[in-house]
Amino acid sequence: MNKKYLKMATIAFIAWYVISRPDGAASLVNSGLGGLGNAADSLAQFMSAIP
């Protein structure tokens, strides 16, 4: 039961953050996706270096 309330509170906080600070939310998503892209590039370089 507590997990349900925690999930709802998290969703409410994310919605509040996106509504109150859309520029900050966009920057956060952009940074996160950029980090994932860098990780994928690093993994690709590692895999190509393996004989």
Contact yes or no for 14/21 (Cβ under 8 A): no
- Domain-wise residue ranges, the chain: 3-49
pLDDT digits (tens, 9 = 90+) for 2-47: 889 999 999 999 899 889 988 988 898 899 899 999 999 999 999 9
- Cα–Cα distances in Å, from 30 out to 21, 25, 46? 14, 9, 24
HSE-CB of 41 using CA atoms within 13 angstroms: 6
pTM: predicted TM-score of the whole model, two decimal places: 0.56
Identify the band that residue 1 occupies on the pLDDT scale cut at 50, 70 and 90.
low
